[in-house]
């Protein structure tokens, strides 16, 4: 299953800003991007978080 950043933030309790920061420093990269550039996270990404 794929989750948008807002969904990951709600599930994990981590802010959207923090998730973006983790992506910028390559601590947790999204597993995919949509054509519009939205980050998509997988179940494995959630486990890693």
Domains of the chain and CATH, by start = 2-48 (1.10.1660.10)
For the stretch 1-35, pLDDT in tens is: 999 999 999 999 999 999 999 999 999 999 999 99
Question: Whats the size of the chain, residue-wise?
Answer: 49
pLDDT of residue 20: 96
Q: What is the pTM of this model?
A: 0.87
Q: Structure tokens of 38?
A: 């939205």
pLDDT of residue 12: 96
The CA distances from residue 21 to 1, 15, 26, in Å, are: 23, 10, 8
Specify whether the CB–CB gap between 16 and 9 falls below 8 A: yes
pLDDT of residue 37: 93
Neighbouring CB atoms inside 10 A of 7's CB total 14
For the stretch 37-48, pLDDT in tens is: 999 999 999 999
pLDDT of residue 32: 95
The dihedral sign for the CA sequence 31, 37, 39, 40:
negative
């Amino acid at each position: 299953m794929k989750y948008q950043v807002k969904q990951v933030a709600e599930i994990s309790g981590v802010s959207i800003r923090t998730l973006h920061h983790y992506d910028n420093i390559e601590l947790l990269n999204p597993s995919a991007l949509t054509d519009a550039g939205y980050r998509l996270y997988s179940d494995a990404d959630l486990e890693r978080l």
